[in-house]
Amino acid sequence: MIIQKKTALTFGTAACVGLAAASGAMAQATPGEGTSIQMAQPTWDTGWFHTEIYVQLLEELGYEMEETMTLDNPIFYQSVAFGDVTMWVDGWFPLHNTYRDSFKGSAEIVGAVAEGGALEGYLIDKASAEEFDITTLEDFKRDEVKEAFDRNGDGRADMVACPPGWGCEINIEHHLDAYDLRDHINPIKAGYSASMADAVASYGAGDPILFYTWTPNWTVNELVPGEDVVWIEVPEVDLPESLAGMSDAATMEGVEGCVSDPCTLGFPASDIVSVVNTAFLDDNPAVRTLLESASIPLSAVFAQNAAMNAGDDDIEAQAAAWIEDNRTDVDGWLEAARDAAQ
């Protein structure tokens, strides 16, 4: 009996050790177990693809992902500071510098989804650029140019701009004043996707078009710089106060399809980054490490944006496919995140 009890005790101890080891392995594989994340995404849909990729990566770490919220910039930066929202992966800096004070000390920038590839600027159809010899926004003060681009009959050239609340709206509004363009250009601030779809249709009909865009964005797949449209320059670099000190970054070399090289776009190239509540990061080192490790090639975002514009809007499936196609890199990011949680 004593031997049997000892055997049973030994077996029981081994079983407990085995269960503990299994439990530890499970905890290591899913360090986010029991923790929820409120992810946000921007109102511009060209950021939704890489948002969904990060959602699925965090799910693989065991985090419970609440339904992603779509927020305007000011609301997000206030919400992440208060902790009402955990994070997003769509911070554009330095473009979003104007919001830094609203989250300073409560949330922080972590890692980079894409570094330096987020260009912004103004484009027109190539045919009009050649016909009217348009190279800068200054040319829109000429009567014949305004007349050609005036679609609503108010005597000003119509330009697809940014909806209220977007970071780019601040810079565009600054440019209209800095270059004295209020009487010459009419910024269209309706929904960007719908406004651009209308511009694409006008281009197809042979009409002149003027629009602001950024990269990555489906617009530069639909209207290819250098072929269909050209980037035009600003008369000189003049940035809002929130971008002070970034003047050199607003002129870039090698911009495909620009009327000049180097190209004075008037917007500093931005990094696309994660912005996360600091208290959450302190409690979740796995998330910090994942965000510091992971990145998404702009070419992948371009391709998805083009597919989405063509009607394929299953972003969840597109993100899952990208993850599987890049499983080696993904597994490396996840392993680093799990190691950080130990």
pLDDT, tens digit (0-9, with 9 covering 90-100), for 293-318:
999 998 899 889 889 888 998 999 99
- The number of C-alpha atoms within 13 Å of 340 and in the hemisphere containing its C-beta is 21
For residue 162, is it within any domain? Answer: yes
For residue 16, pLDDT over 60 is answered with no
What mean pLDDT comes out for the span 59-78? 97
Domain boundary among 267, 300, 332: 267
Say whether both 132 and 92 belong to one domain. Answer: no
State how far the alpha carbon of 31 is from the alpha carbons of 25, 105, 335, in Å: 10, 26, 11
283 and 155 in a common domain: no
Q: How many domains does the chain have?
A: 2
In a shared domain, residues 143 and 246: yes
Task: Please indicate, yes or no, if residue 203 is contained in any of the structural domains.
Answer: yes
DSSP state for residue 137 in the 8-state scheme: G
Q: Could you tell me which residues come within 8 angstroms of residue 167 by beta carbon, excluding any fewer than 6 positions away?
A: 73, 92, 95, 96, 98, 99
Domain boundary among 234, 252, 267: 267
Partnered with residue 258 across adjacent β-strands are 231
pLDDT cut 90: percent of the chain above it: 75
Is the domain of 129 the same as that of 208?
yes
Residue 15 predicted with pLDDT over 70: no
* pLDDT confidence bin for 10, thresholds 50/70/90: very low
Contact by Cβ (8 Å): 61, 32: yes
Least confident of 37-51, 81-95, 233-247, 323-337: 233-247
Q: What is the mean pLDDT of residues 313-324?
A: 97
Examine the domain organization and report whether 282 and 156 are in the same domain: no
Q: Tell me the per-residue pLDDT of 266-291, one tens digit each, with 9 for 90 and over.
A: 999 889 999 999 999 999 999 999 99
Q: Is the pLDDT of residue 83 over 60?
A: yes
Q: Quote the pLDDT of residue 28.
A: 80
Q: Which residues pair with 108 in a beta bridge?
A: 276
Task: Establish if 102 belongs to a structural domain.
Answer: yes
290 belongs to a structural domain: yes
pTM: 0.76
- Read off the pLDDT of residues 181-216 as tens digits, 9 standing for 90 and up: 999 999 999 999 899 999 999 999 999 999 999 988
The mean-pLDDT minimum among 54-63, 88-97, 299-308, 333-342 falls in 299-308
181 phi and psi, to 5 degrees?
Answer: -110, 5
- List the domain range (segments joined by +) for residue 147: 120-267
* 316: enclosing H helix or E strand: helix 315-325
Average pLDDT, the chain: 90
Which of 188, 263, 277 minimizes the C-alpha distance to 230? 263
Flag whether 9 is in a domain: no
- Examine the domain organization and report whether 147 and 159 are in the same domain: yes
**Residue 176: CATH number of its domain:** 3.40.190.100
Residue 15, domain member (yes or no): no
Residue 175 has pLDDT above 60, yes or no: yes
What's the pLDDT score for residue 8? 38
Give CA angle at 332 (27, 88), nearest 5°.
80
18 located within any domain: no
**Would you say residue 169 lies in a domain?**
yes
Q: Which two tokens stand for residue 138?
A: 């200054």
pLDDT for the residue 310: 85
Clarify whether residues 304 and 321 are in a common domain.
Answer: yes
CATH for 50: 3.40.190.10
- 47 and 92 assigned to the same domain: yes
- Tell me, yes or no, whether 204 and 168 share the same domain: yes
Residues 82 and 170 in one domain: no
Identify which has the larger pLDDT, 310 or 177. Answer: 177
Q: What angle do CA 133, 172, 244 make, to 5 degrees?
A: 110
Paired sense of beta strands 40-42 and 69-71, if any: parallel
Give yes or no: residues 89 and 209 share one domain: no
128/103 same-domain check = no
- Tens of pLDDT, residue by residue over 124-142, are 999 999 999 999 999 999 9
Among 267, 285, 320, residue at a domain's last position:
267
